[in-house]
Amino acid sequence: MSGTADIGLIGLAVMGQNLILNMADHGFKVVAYNRSIEKVHHFIANEAKGKSIIGAESIPDLISKLKSPRRVMLLVKAGSAVDSFIDQLVPHMSKGDIIIDGGNSEYADTQRRTDELQKKGIRFVGSGVSGGEEGARYGPSLMPGGNKEAWPFIKNIFQGISAKADGQPCCDWVGSDGAGHFVKMVHNGIEYGDMQLIGEIYDLMLALGINQEEMANTFDEWNKGELDSFLIEITRDILRFKDEKGEYLLPKIRDSAGQKGTGKWTAISALNYGVPVTLIGEAVFSRCLSSLKAERITASRRLPKPSPFELSIDKNTFLENLRQALYASKIVSYAQGFMLLREAAAVHKWDLDYGSIALMWRGGCIIRSVFLGQIKIAFDKDPNLSSLLLAPFFIDAITKAQKGWRNVVSTAINMGVPTPALSTALAFFDGYRSERLPANLLQAQRDYFGAHTYELLGQEGKFVHTNWTGKGGKVSASTYDV
């Protein structure tokens, strides 16, 4: 016999609790369950008191309290914990019931789970959830994918609780099997890139002797224009924050960054699909380099520094150059992310709506940014757009920012301030706009030492081998792309 609740949620960490409260605020009745029953009791007696939220003592109790088709959302640690709860849920569920994984699961796991559960008559959804604790409570960005038959039964809940941008929900169906979690993975990769870019701008400001209050004021101004975004906003707030001693907290934080894996997954996927997502890769490696704190301390005392450098332009002009460099590099970051989405969609036959994805990211998520609206416009005008860099708006934006961008990168090199993300963004841009690259020499080298063959201009598709030394034979290796 079916119960009365609209949805059940397993996992009462802060994200889970906040999402449940959000659902209740929007008129949905929710069943809360956690492996630790004491946590359920505490939540029901405190944060959930007086709301349309009930607790469950066990998995069977949870299932018994849900309307049919039963909808259960998991917000637990990615990996084996998700599979464990699925195994516990399935024996108590009926054909047509729905399991939703709202964690940061690897998209290949979501593909596998969708297929396995479909064979058992269970509809599985893997949904990206972005926005952190505040987003979960007041409106996240949601990116559901998986078994599309589940969408009509969760659409009103998901779009009801999601953030809104220009009155539109930051949530829509993404695509089949692992599409939702793949889009969330790319979102997180862009997040890595954005954070690294902002960190490099901060580092250059430090090198120029700009004080924190001036930095904060600069980010505040930037947040009123083209760079209006969540990460610029919180950077301003972090720069202004003082501890109980009345001292700025930021300089006291150890400069060794952690990561949970989604940025790394994005970089690995880029390599697997042969897409040059270089900026996100550099952002991941920069975190790895930051973790070598002890080695960096030793190296700072033993390795030579560059010669003293004096800025040839005034500070305010250079601050404008920094803004331009950050803006142009962010455009490259998003362009690379959408290139990866395009390639994965072709491989997995996902019918991704790139304009819709941009809209999903306009509110409630970490990478929400004012120019996401321009990304939607670009793909609405040309759904087959090969790169955002070729859209008129972004061509114009980079044309205006290019001089300042180049000045920042060259100045950073002369000052000895590391800017891996800013630099690789510019290198990618220069490579992408180049009709000719030195890969012809690479092909000749590969053929010289490994007989890997090459194509001649005007004879594309025909692979030939040259006996470069006169000592080799006529036998060549098979051709391959990567």
Tell me which residues are annotated as active site: 184, 191
Opening angle at CA 332, ends 316 and 336, nearest 5: 160
How far is it, in rounded angstroms, from Cα 318 to Cα 320? Answer: 5
Q: Angle at which helices 179-207 and 278-290 pack, to 10 degrees?
A: 60
Q: Which amino acid is at 21?
A: L
How far is it, in rounded angstroms, from Cα 162 to Cα 179? Answer: 19
How far is it, in rounded angstroms, from Cα 79 to Cα 98? Answer: 19
Pairing of strands 164-165, 98-101: unpaired
How far is it, in rounded angstroms, from Cα 448 to Cα 42? Answer: 70
Q: Angle at which helices 179-207 and 262-273 pack, to 10 degrees?
A: 110
Indicate the annotated binding residues for substrate: 104, 130-132, 187-188, 192, 260, 287, 446, 452
Instruction: Output the six-digit token pair for 189.
Output: 């990769």
Cβ neighbours of residue 319 closer than 8 Å, sequence gap 6 or more: 205, 210, 218
Query: Do 159 and 195 form a contact (C-beta atoms < 8 A)?
Result: no
How many helices (H) and strands (E) the chain has is answered by 19, 12
Query: Do 24 and 51 form a contact (C-beta atoms < 8 A)?
Result: yes
HSE-CB at 431 with a 13 A cutoff on CA atoms is 13
Indicate the annotated binding residues for NADP(+): 11-16, 34-36, 76-78, 104
Partnered with residue 101 across adjacent β-strands are 74, 126
Closest by CA to 332, choosing from 193, 137, 213, is 193
Indicate the annotated binding residues: 11-16, 34-36, 76-78, 104, 130-132, 187-188, 192, 260, 287, 446, 452
| Rama region for 379: left / alpha / beta (φ>0; ψ in -120 to 50; rest) | alpha
